[in-house]
A and B are shown apart, each in its own frame.
Chain A
């Protein structure tokens, strides 16, 4: 009885946060003389208006879900894997590297694609474990270590695009030479998304859900995250678990980065991580680290991203407005969680 009541109350508070966030964005829109109803309608239409747009939403959904799955693991271990952006980038770099390696060899493209995705996962995992090692043995907070590694990853990526991997005679932000179509993950009809990406994502989602909800490993990670000293005292090897959580998160970030290369851009571009890492962290916070909500909330964020493109085309508004909406959603829902604790907790 009591639990049911608390649960419905807490949904009420989440809804309150949602309403506040939309209210906040409405105020911004009103302050710049834009019609909020029209803006929200455009975002909605822009995301689900036709099958091409829905497909585009899923193109964004794939990396968002993978990245969020990854950060849930580090969040569970009580770690802020800010370095996720760099890990996605490294995943993309390793994937591109492997494809380039086999480009003019008789190795079958399918095998190359598989190898390159695995390489991307390994590369990102190495980068993630590096952040973990800095934390565990170097005493560098993972937030600072992660930021530093992000910086290095971006520099490395741009260095490669402008230098060693640049197109013949060209050094440009538009990225490396696109791969021949044989090395693309097959897309569905004329749409931009690939069933293989979706399948891998769903598998990832299921793995993470059961890993965190049902396994001894997941529970131990949770113990480390909730109270590292106590967990150690109860006999859990804590730093090993922290490193493992980084490793797993890295694998997911790497998969996201690899898919960006083989399924979306078919080349390496400077902004290959597309800010999905940070967005994944936001989603992780928003859903209060519950794996069950990853898929729908990531879908919502992806839809906002794609739908937001309509704002500059039709209303001449900056499309970062959807970023404001996403950010304020996180802020207000966290705020409401705080309010809820105050209201329900103390009195």
Chain B
């Protein structure tokens, strides 16, 4: 199906999220929509899939102007959207989820549905168990299920919004292969991403959005520098990084044993040196978040010891870890990181330790927050509530709230959802701290990020933790194999073999 956007405009308050966007997408192609966070990509897709209405402009399908008022309308027109967080119904079985949303028509027997499901997924080399429960699936598998479901509902256009976030390399490859099969079947694929490398390998054509405007359309093959320049309006150069690790050990895990259903993580021994950056790699739910939380006192280990700067903090709570120079930036910024409803200035007031008299010196903290806003390039004002900041700005704000003299910063997915510019900025700031002797312990689902920024890497698979790997000697492919549970015996001389069979 051929899709036309005709002079689409959409405002959110004072933000012009889509400005006069006119764009044609031919059927049978994989069409990329590229842009940094807040460029208006998701808004445009939500308009196409009926979640929101444009202020003006129209959608033209196969030459006919249509009005798409609800997601159900969109499905009726054959348009299906996969969201960043796949919208599914977790307590259900895969097969039930698959048939949910089907309208009337003939009701197939359970057996027939399973047969149809298997046939459909075999086209794409997916291997979902129809009887498994949805909440046991990984993000990538839920995505596969969602694709199958939309196709089953008759989608001829598939919109994928940042689909490669949070899935493994294998799953990503499978996804891309499937999308190519679909394009071959004359389906239209719209692929929304801020990741250049994904767009480059996958898309036949790409449209670039910046600050709500359509900057241009480019056909494959692409010139990376040109795409970057179109996205950001300027050239971005990745600096070479060097390790600033010192010899002094600031943090130690000794024989740590942690239980967090369904995982039991045993025998974690590890020491972190001042200024060192350690990346924790693994598929989501492999135990890296559990270990990280045990390192901050948010989770109590069953046995073993956690030693910070020579002090045994095992069993102490998070506040005591904080007092000993440990800071933690969690992944869910508005649930665990920042307090929604409080302004930036209030955040600085709560976290700053100076000027602690009875009454708040509002002028002082206002000035302080203005200074931090400036220093950390936060787009916002002291009186801006944090929840109205964009994701990247929230992350910068969270970073700016960290105390100056810290021994260790632990981060969960520090750059998830951030565009390249924000990511680079984030790491610049972190590396600055490393130079001052702060160590970093971080989880990321992005193996490139792990390889690029870590001095050493811990690989997690199904609750098992690898010995530290030197990032200089590990390749992306090797790492990809390891997080999928392959090659552990070869790498670590381990007797047990791990197959990628975490899911039933």
CB-CB under 8 A from A342, the residues of chain B are none
Q: What's the least CB distance linking A96 to chain B, in Å?
A: 34
Measured CB to CB, the nearest residue on chain B to A234 is B351
Bitwise interface map of B from 316 to 351 toward A, beta carbon under 8 Å scored 1, else 0:
001100100000101000111111111000110111
Tell me if B473 counts as interface (CB < 8 A to partner A).
no
Query: B346 contacts A229, CB within 8 Å?
Result: no
Query: B318 contacts A230, CB within 8 Å?
Result: no
Bitwise interface map of B from 295 to 321 toward A, beta carbon under 8 Å scored 1, else 0:
000000000000000000000001100
Query: B342 contacts A223, CB within 8 Å?
Result: yes
Partner of A233, one of B14, B336, B349: B336
Tell me if A231 counts as interface (CB < 8 A to partner B).
yes
Measured CB to CB, the nearest residue on chain A to B403 is A235
- Give the complex CA separation of A86 and B404 in angstroms: 47
A219-B350, A235-B351 known; A227 vs B341 contact (CB < 8 Å):
yes
CB-CB under 8 A from B347, the residues of chain A are 234
Residue among B334, B340, B360 with the highest chain A CB neighbour number at 10 A: B360
CB-CB under 8 A from A233, the residues of chain B are 318, 328, 330, 336-337
A222-B342, A226-B341 known; A216 vs B356 contact (CB < 8 Å):
yes
Tell me if A210 counts as interface (CB < 8 A to partner B).
yes
Tell me if B274 counts as interface (CB < 8 A to partner A).
no
Tell me if B265 counts as interface (CB < 8 A to partner A).
no
- Give the complex CA separation of A229 and B333 in angstroms: 10
Query: A230 contacts B360, CB within 8 Å?
Result: no
Measured CB to CB, the nearest residue on chain B to A233 is B336
Q: What's the least CB distance linking A13 to chain B, in Å?
A: 18
- Give the complex CA separation of A215 and B347 in angstroms: 14
CB-CB under 8 A from B338, the residues of chain A are 227, 230
Bitwise interface map of A from 1 to 28 toward B, beta carbon under 8 Å scored 1, else 0:
0100000000000000000000000000
- Chain A contact residues: helix, strand, loop or mixed: helix
Number of interface residues of A (CB under 8 A): 21
CB-CB under 8 A from B337, the residues of chain A are 230, 233
Bitwise interface map of B from 394 to 432 toward A, beta carbon under 8 Å scored 1, else 0:
000000010000000000000000000000000000000
Measured CB to CB, the nearest residue on chain B to A210 is B359
Tell me if B358 counts as interface (CB < 8 A to partner A).
yes
Q: What's the least CB distance linking B359 to chain A, in Å?
A: 5
Q: What's the least CB distance linking A136 to chain B, in Å?
A: 13
CB-CB under 8 A from A235, the residues of chain B are 319, 322, 351
Residues of B in contact with A (beta carbons under 8 Å apart): 14, 318-319, 322, 328, 330, 334-342, 346-347, 349-351, 356, 358-360, 401
8 further contact pairs, Cβ within 8 A, besides A219-B360, A226-B342, A227-B334: A219-B349, A227-B340, A229-B335, A229-B336, A232-B319, A233-B318, A233-B336, A234-B351
Can you name 19 A-B residue pairings with CB atoms under 8 Å?
A2-B14, A216-B350, A217-B358, A219-B342, A219-B349, A222-B342, A227-B335, A227-B338, A229-B335, A230-B334, A230-B336, A230-B338, A230-B339, A232-B319, A233-B330, A233-B337, A234-B339, A235-B319, A235-B351
Residues of A in contact with B (beta carbons under 8 Å apart): 2, 210, 214-217, 219-220, 222-223, 226-227, 229-237
